[in-house]
Amino acid sequence: MSNMGDMGDMGDMGDMGGGAGVPLPFRSDLPYDKEDAQVWRKGALGWGWVETTTPTSDLEALPTLESVTWTPRDWSGKWSAWLVLGEFATTRPWQTITLSAYPTGGPALEAEKNKMFAAAQDERADAIGEIVAQNESYEDCAAYFMGLLRANSSNHGKTAKLLHVAGLVGILTSMHTKSVHLRPRPSQLWPALLPPIEVPGHPAFPSGHATQAMLMAMMLEAVLAGTARATATPLLHALAHRIARNREIAGLHYPSDSHGGFELAGEAYAMLATCPSFITLLAEARAEWGAPV
């Protein structure tokens, strides 16, 4: 997984709201709490080190148990997003969502086949960079959305958390729907498509990338509603379409998989938008953009 990398500094996403426990090199022969107890101060003779009355060994001491709590700001957005998913998964009838039928044969399926082969021949070489960059995780796709808005998890942490929610809800709903339809991958029918990346180990319909990307676009549209940035809405939806289209160009999905993913995103978002935890998060994200209450 790319962990969203820098994506060419696509919004400096980092891990989209990771925790503060960053692994750092540490000298085992000189533990930090054994450093001299001193502070840098300016005195009568100028700047210099001044010994303190509090030994640094006190760094080992913990506050009283009663004063130690885990606060909302201690949560990583990546993990607290699971709490929103939990409410959605256990209180909303997402398993009842039905999607438009996809072609299983005849002229309609032949037309999809022709489109995929044409895309592989005419567009794959140009699209391969994006295909690879968006492949491993929903976070790879989220980086493009944050980059489009010139945002990052440091200055728009709640917005970044929303995209984690979109990714998780997209996984849950698309995997369930895939298990219902069990549609074979295009390259199973037509090996000559020869996808340039590994074919995912789950069925084709609907496209998980399309589901996640459109959920991200819809959430960000709601975040920006009523702000000057609301004009970016068509760009958000265009980016979702592009991400899904790249999967078609790669030979991983039929066009109808993308359509199904977009439908699933719309239906899932309508249910998610009624969850109290999501409503709260959405309001917090809107505040980051100065949206009207």
pLDDT in tens, 205-233: 999 999 999 999 999 999 999 999 999 99
pLDDT at residue 12 in the model: 41
Q: Where are the beta strands (DSSP E) in the chain?
A: 38-43, 46-51
Residue 26 has what DSSP assignment?
-
Please tell me the distance from the alpha carbon of residue 139 to that of residue 6, in angstroms, as a whole number. Answer: 11
Task: Say if CB 15 and CB 29 are below 8 A apart.
Answer: no
**Any domain includes 276:** yes
Find out whether 33 and 56 touch, Cβ atoms under 8 Å. Answer: yes
pLDDT at 126 over 50: yes
- Band (283; pLDDT cuts 50, 70, 90): very high
Can you name the residues that pair with 46 across neighbouring β-strands? 43
Residue 120 falls inside a structural domain:
yes
CB 239 within 8 A of CB 145: yes
With beta carbons less than 8 A apart as the criterion, state whether 285 and 159 touch: yes
Q: Is residue 16 part of a domain?
A: no
**What CATH number is attached to the domain comprising 268?**
1.20.144.10
Range with lowest mean pLDDT among 48-52, 57-61, 69-73, 124-128? 57-61
34 within domain boundaries? no
Higher pLDDT, residue 1 or 289: 289
Q: Give a yes or no: residue 74 inside a domain.
A: no
Instruction: Give the separation between CA 204 and CA 186, rounded to whole angstroms.
Output: 8
Kindly state whether residue 88 falls inside one of the protein's structural domains: no
**The tokens 């920006």 sit on which residue?**
224
Residue 103, CB-side half-sphere exposure with 13 Å CA sphere: 14
150 within a domain of the structure (yes/no): yes
Of 284, 172, 129, give the one whose Cα is nearest residue 222.
284
Q: Are 115 and 55 in contact (CB under 8 A)?
A: no
Residues 163, 143: Cα–Cα separation, whole Å: 9
Of the pLDDT bands very low, low, confident and very high (cuts 50, 70, 90), residue 60 is: low
**What domain range includes position 234?**
105-288
pLDDT for position 73: 84
pLDDT (0 to 100) of residue 51: 84
Number of domains in the chain: 1
Measured between alpha carbons, how far is 252 from 230 in angstroms, rounded to an integer? 32
Q: Is residue 32 part of a domain?
A: no
